[in-house]
Structure 1
Amino acid sequence: MRKRVFIYILCLALTLSLTGCWNRKELTTLSVVQAIGIDKTEDGQINLTLQLLKPASIKASSGKNGKGASGSRKSVWVVTSTGQTLFDAIRNATHQVNRKSLFSQNKVIVIGEAAAKSGIAPLLDLVVRDPELRELSYIFIAKGAAKDIIEAENEQEQVPAKALENLVKATRTTSTAPEVTLLDLMKSIVSKTTAPILPGIELAEQPNGAVIEKQVQLCGTAVFKEDKLIGWFGGKETRGILWVLGKVKSGIIVVESPEDENKKVALEIISTSSKVTPNLIGGKLAVTVEVKEEGSLGEQMSQTNFTKPEAFKKLEEKQSAAIKDEITAALQKAQTWGVDIFKFGVEYHRKFPIDYLELKKNWEEEYKNIAVDIKVDAKLSRVGLTTTPVNAEEE
């Protein structure tokens, strides 16, 4: 009996030591940040734009009344503030927000073009120093002001920040924009050789009947030297970068039909791989880039019969040439600018660690003079459900 009483007392004592959710924070007492916009004013101040969640509006819009993203109640509200630093601007936002801001659920960070040209490293010091901010947040560079992107509404999503997140993920189907998180960006900035790249985003005018509406869309790739924006790459040039980095997931390659150059053929990218081999011969740098791609015939505007081996082989050759052209365009531009967006420096560090110690001292000039041999092996493995084009003449 005494033993049983002792066990009861012990269990009671142990329950007193359990803290439970001592530091819990109710959602209704917080301002949940979904997107951060960072701009610089003409006098060097930081202009901060926050997209904050309105949980009550989301709950109401998903209820019986069926009001969604285009309903009368907005699911987010936008706050702007100014400060001498980013931290200062965040604290100044409390003049308008009467709840503590929660940054751990932030999805995207957008940096304005002017701020990016002046250098993004100082702007991100707080972001990487504060443990509350997510390292997996996606980063964009706005063509114009970041504030305009954060304030823009979206017809498909209740929370516009979610639309931005989905937008960059959707580029996996075209491979025309890089997918970069805060962690990826910081790795590039601290690298002695690798130049950072970030997806560009803008407000583009879209006609809707008699009304011209503005819609957020991706617009190529922002290229940096150290931490300063120096220029932009287009969609095809961006895919040229991704071919070398082995990050092409899918996409469409449009080529001229082998037997009728006025007609187009669309080839779908099914799978890809790449290999970068650095060489150091007689003190001169040379790199071999090998890209392998498997594709399928997705659409043809010509009447060419690609079941014929000769025509099929010519189509594969055009596919290889198109891939090589994209890589060459990106490579020539990058070497002219002196920005190692292909991570060649990383490859030399791995293979020639001793020589790299000297190479990195003047890497920009060394990089400009690298002789690059591009080898592309592209194959077509599928032609779809039909082997002949629509309305093809019988032979």
Structure 2
Amino acid sequence: MKRHTVLVVILLAAWLLTACTGLRQINQLAIVTAVGLDVGEQPGSVKLSVQIVRPADARGQTGAPAGGTGEPIYSVSAEGKTIFEAIRNLGRFTSRRVYWAHNFLIVMHEDYARRGIADMVDFFTRNHELRMNTWVAVTSDKPEELISTVTGLEVVPGEAVDRLFRDNHVVGLAPGTNMMNLEEAFLSLSTEPVIARLQLKDRGISNKKPEEHGSIKQVELAGAAAFKRDKMIGWLSPKETRGLLFFLEKLDRGVEVVSCSNSKEKLTVEFNNADLKVTPLYRNQKPQFQIRLTARADVVESGCDVPLEGIRTHIEEQVEQRLKSKIEDVLNKAQRQYHSDFLKLGDVFRNKYPVEWHRIGKTWDVTFSEAEMTVQVQAAIKNTVLKAAGSGIK
């Protein structure tokens, strides 16, 4: 009995002694909150930029006691033949070990994305420190500039972009792409990746020079980049992206501005409870898709000088036309211009017709481009009384 007791004590002591062997001190780590990828100066090389947070200075910027007096972030770049080599090259002038577990964002330059993102997907999905819910975006601006742009509300730019993505459903003009759904699309045989677009816009107003409107650059989330396999093939406008989100994220609400009867006055409606249903068909050895969108809408702002009840039908028709136009625009971009099924229609067809998919799946790019699409939209105005958009106040 004593022998068993001694053995338990020894095992418990060994566990307590080794429990903190993997502990890493925060002052020994370079905590990355955003990553930028671009083509390097040497042919085929990669330029990697990282945004590293300085915890003491970041706390100080928000009013709490701080041990430092510098900038809340530190941005640095390095090049290499591969992403991993570029990271290792950071160690030549970065005094701390790069730590990825708190990274919010990976943003790629358009040139890098058009060259191919297979290496990026492979590296960051193998990295055990990186979270699969890390946001991914493409930009036509310099990634190192974008990840270093401090907004007026958040101290850490990476955190600011994280919040843009989290609240993206309110505006509905860009997809919420992260490493998880990017890898899913990248490995799929029936759908292609699509990634959100980030850009810098002169929108901020300086408190010291308010007359210089738009003198401060701010990060904006709008539009998307379309891919075919691992290469970017073009952009989707915010309008086209609104149509895309009906397919990818089941977008159920948004705002549309229409005209009052035949006058120049405008009114604003908020559509909600939108429901998109895609019905695949297989006729004459060819796939077809019937796309139907239904939504209800409320008038939230009116500049009309006529009773709204009298123009209810006119309002409904305009909302239907605008929503249908957005869906048809993104369908045209996918089928006619890019020949890339980033709408996941291949998944819908394969689930209903697995046998037929086995025959046509290998040439889905061509088959999808020739598929017949029928779009129907039905919108009903449920409330012509003024209502605050999204607030529930009637």
Common fold by TM > 0.5: yes
Equivalent in the alignment of 2:23: 24
Please tell me whether residue 130 in structure 1 is matched to residue 127 in structure 2: yes
Give the one of 276, 300, 303 matched to 1:301.
303
Give me the whole-angstrom Cα distance separating, in 2, the residues matched to 1:276 and 1:200.
Answer: 26
Q: How far off its partner does 1:21 sit?
A: 2.4
Deviation at 1:173, TM superposition (A): 1.2
Contact 1:244/1:291 (<8 A) preserved: no
Label 1:216 to 1:247 Cα distance change in 2 as closer, same or farther (>3 A). same
What amino acid does structure 2 have at the position aligned with 1:56? A
Q: 1:286 corresponds to which residue?
A: 288
**Cα distance change, pair 248–66 in 1 and its aligned pair in 2 (3 A):** farther
| Larger deviation, residues 190-199 vs 279-288 | 190-199
TM-score computed with the length of structure 2 as normaliser: 0.89
Describe the SS at the equivalent of 2:111: helix
Equivalent position of 2:38 in the other structure: 39
Q: Is the 8 A contact 1:113 1:145 kept in 2?
A: no
Q: 1:19-49: per-residue Cα shift (whole Å, max 9, x none)?
A: 3323111212211110111111242211000
Instruction: Note the C-alpha offset of 1:127.
Output: 0.5
Match of 2:242 in 1: 239
Alpha-carbon offset, residue 182 of structure 1: 0.7
CA-based RMSD of the aligned residues comes to 2.3
- Residue 345 of structure 1: CA displacement? 0.8
Contact 2:59 2:66 in 1 (8 A): no
Q: Cα distance 1:25–1:263, how it changes in 2: closer, same or farther (>3 A)?
A: same
CA–CA separation in structure 2 for the residues paired with 1:6 and 1:134 = 45
Q: CA deviation at 1:307?
A: 3.0
Counterparts of 1:143-292 in structure 2, within 5 Å, are: 143-206=140-203, 208=205, 209-210=211-212, 212-257=215-260, 259-292=261-294
Determine helix, strand or coil for the equivalent of 1:280.
strand
Of the three residues 80, 83, 105, the one matched with 1:83 is 80
CA spacing shift, 1:256–1:298, aligned 2, 3 Å: same
Letter in 1 for 2:184: K
The separation in 2 between residues aligned to 1:385 and 1:203, in whole angstroms, is 35
Contact (CA 8 Å) 2:291, 2:373: kept in 1 or not? Answer: yes
Output the CA distance in 1 between the equivalents of 2:32 and 2:249: 33
Partner Cα separation in structure 1 for residue 370 and residue 222 of structure 2: 29
Q: What is the deviation of 1:73?
A: 3.2
Q: Secondary structure at the match of 1:18?
A: helix
- Quote the Cα distance in structure 2 between the aligned partners of 1:180 and 1:249: 18
AA in 2 matched with 1:302: C
Find the residue that maps to 2:147 and give its secondary structure: helix
Q: 1:66 to 1:31 in 2, by over 3 A?
A: closer
SS at match of 1:151: coil
Q: Is the 8 A contact 1:278 1:286 kept in 2?
A: yes
Following superposition, the deviation at residue 9 of structure 1 comes to 5.4
Deviation at 1:100, TM superposition (A): 1.4
Structure 1 stretches lacking a partner, 5+ long: 387-395
Aligned-residue offset at 1:59: 2.8
Distance 1:385 1:368 in 2: 43
- Aligned positions of 1:352-367 closer than 5 A: 352-367=353-368
CA 226–299 in structure 1, closer or farther in 2 if over 3 Å, else same: same
The 3-state SS of whatever aligns with 2:256 is strand
Residue matched to 2:370? 369
- Secondary structure at 1:307's aligned position in 2? helix
Residue 36 of structure 1 aligns with an amino acid whose one-letter code is V
Q: Which amino acid aligns with 2:308?
A: F
Is the alpha carbon distance of 1:203 and 1:347 closer, same or farther for their aligned partners in structure 2, counting shifts above 3 Å? same
2:379 aligned with 1:382: no
Q: Give 1:367 shift.
A: 0.9
Offset at 1:60? 2.6
| Secondary structure of 1:326 counterpart | helix
Q: CA deviation at 1:228?
A: 1.1
Per-residue deviation, residues 68-109 of structure 1 (Å, max 9, x unmatched): xxx963211011111110000011101122121110111100
Residue 288 of structure 2 aligns to a residue whose secondary structure is strand
- Hey, what's the Cα distance between the residues in 2 that align with 1:61 and 1:79? 21
Which amino acid letter does the alignment assign opposite residue 112 of structure 2? A
User: Deviation per CA, 1:238-258, whole angstroms, max 9, x where unpaired?
Assistant: 11111233531432111222x
* SS of match in other structure, 2:304: coil
Q: Which amino acid in structure 2 is aligned with residue 31 of structure 1?
A: A
Q: State percent identity of aligned pairs.
A: 27
Cα 1:215–1:86 change in 2 (3 A) is same
Partner of 1:393: none
In structure 2, what is the Cα distance between the partners aligned to 1:261 and 1:186? 49
Is 1:108 the counterpart of 2:105? The answer is yes
Whether the 8 Å CA contact 1:275–1:291 is kept in 2: the answer is: yes
Distance in 1 between residues matched to 2:167 and 2:296, nearest whole Å: 21
Give me the whole-angstrom Cα distance separating, in 2, the residues matched to 1:140 and 1:261.
Answer: 41
Can you list the C-alpha shifts for 1:255-284, whole angstroms capped at 9, x where unaligned? 222x23422221112222211111001212
1:389 maps to: none
Q: What amino acid is aligned across from residue 45 of structure 2 in structure 1?
A: Q
Tell me: CA distance 1:15–1:66, structure 2 relative to 1, closer, same or farther (3 Å): closer
- How many Å separate the matches in 2 of 1:317 and 1:246? 25
Cα distance, 1:315 vs structure 2: 1.6
Equivalent pair of 1:245/1:274 in contact (CA under 8 Å): no
Match of 1:392 in 2: none
Tell me how far apart the structure 1 counterparts of residues 174 and 358 of structure 2 sit (CA, whole Å): 32
Change in 2 beyond 3 A, CA 1:13/1:41: closer
Q: Which runs of 5+ in 2 are unaligned?
A: 206-210, 388-394
